[in-house]
Amino acid sequence: MNNKRPSILLIYTGGTIGMEEDVQSKSLRPVDFNHLTDRIPELKTFNLNLSVIAFDKPMDSSNMNPDVWVKLARLIERNYSKQDGFVILHGSDTMAFTASALSFMLENLDKPVILTGSQLPMGIIRTDGKENLITAIEIASRQEKGRAVIPEVCIYFEYQLYRGNRTHKFNSEHFQAFQSANYPVLAEAGVHIKFNTDAIQAGKPKKLKVHTRLDPNIAVLKIFPGIQKNAVAAILNTKGLKAIILETFGSGNAPTEKGFIDLLTKAIDNGLIIYNVTQCNAGSVDQGKYETSSQLKKIGVVGGADITYEAAIAKLMFVLGQKLKKKEIRKALSNSLRGELSESHGAAAEIL
């Protein structure tokens, strides 16, 4: 019987959860997370070893970027053998982007990496941060037969645990800020924490492989009724651009106007990768289902199936960073690498 106390590393990047209100000025200031258990004494009741690493300068998640994703991935890599799980405190605005990026960067992950945060600062009486943090730590430490129950990158928010690369922030005011419209929740926290074992990925009992090469030379072209050719051309002709996300209507539909299609065709012929992702929060791209998407498929636009916008951004940066051939890039984008696509839309791919 394994009686070893789980070890959890808490990484504080910044965000609303790490703020408290100054009594006199009423302004918000960062919390000293090195004295976390003094602020949340409930953590002392857990049968685990909790370590804390805080960024020297807490950052608003609006300033999140690929360099910070690399920093987080390397932090996890350096501490991987010593820890049983990781909890990352992060601003909610870009949390789904970071969770998606880490899911691709951490290949063969066999331990939980759970991102959480809050809508109200920890120092506010009605804060949601305290429950989010306590439950995220509890889930990260949960093991069965010496193995992690949740061996993947997740987001925990307001009683729900989501697969990180399936998650989207949809509300800036409610405590229930996130959704996973195309994939079921991995766990729900009530009186008991109920795990949806059928939805959880199996861990990879292989050596963790951390990818730190990301290529941010991408752009987003969100179409709308009346979009002008000069605006489309300006994006497609951006210097150094390697790929774009084409945010389309419904199940992947776009204007069939010849000038628009000609611009896309020329860009693809010149080597640009175009990734078709729906503007809808739920549902899937199905190129060819309607006439308004069949031309996109014909000219070589890659269908994004049911991937989220956030995961598409991270996946493009990741795949482009691997220096693959064009055919391999298209295959990787069309297939599920880390559970970001439903298997019905593409078999899991081992490309790296």
- Report yes or no: 238 and 220 within 8 Å, Cβ to Cβ: no
Residue 276's SS3 state is: strand
Counting beta carbons within 10 angstroms of the beta carbon of residue 146, is it exposed (0 to 12), middle (13 to 18) or buried (19 or more)?
exposed
Please name the fold of domain 7-210. Rossmann fold (3.40.50)
Q: Name the one residue in this structure whose structure tokens are 């084409």.
A: 246
Parse the chain into domains and list their residue ranges. Answer: 7-210, 218-345
- pTM of the complete model: 0.93
Find the distance separating the first CA and the last CA of the chain, reported in whole Å. Answer: 37
Q: What is the pLDDT of residue 349?
A: 43
Same fold, 7-210 and 218-345: yes
Tokens of 75: 């932090």
Beta bridge partner(s), residue 194: 188
Catalytic: 16?
yes
- Report yes or no: 305 and 341 within 8 Å, Cβ to Cβ: yes
Output DSSP code: residue 203: P
Q: What is the pLDDT of residue 3?
A: 62
Beta bridge partner(s), residue 195: 187
Q: What is the pLDDT of residue 14?
A: 87
| 216-270 pLDDT tens trace | 999 999 999 999 999 999 999 999 999 999 999 999 999 999 999 999 999 999 9
Instruction: Mark the ranges of the chain whose per-residue pLDDT is less than 50.
Output: 1, 346-352
Q: What is the pLDDT of residue 24?
A: 73
Give the C-alpha separation, 46 to 145, whole Å. Answer: 19
Mention every residue, 6+ apart, whose C-beta is less than 8 A from residue 123.
19, 20, 21, 28, 31
Angle, vertex CA 284, rays to CA 212 and CA 197, nearest 5: 70
Active-site hit among 16, 94, 127, 248 = 16
Give the C-alpha separation, 209 to 107, whole Å. Answer: 5
Q: Which amino acid is at 139?
A: I
The secondary structure of 183-246 as a DSSP string is S--SEEESSSEEE-GGGSPPP--S--EE-------EEEEE--TT--HHHHHHHHT-TT--EEEE
Mention every residue, 6+ apart, whose C-beta is less than 8 A from residue 183.
162, 163, 166, 199, 339, 342
Please name the fold of domain 218-345. Rossmann fold (3.40.50)
Q: In Å, how far from its chain's centre is CA 33? A: 24
Output DSSP code: residue 63: G
- Report yes or no: 198 and 212 within 8 Å, Cβ to Cβ: no
| 105-120 pLDDT tens trace | 999 999 999 999 987 8
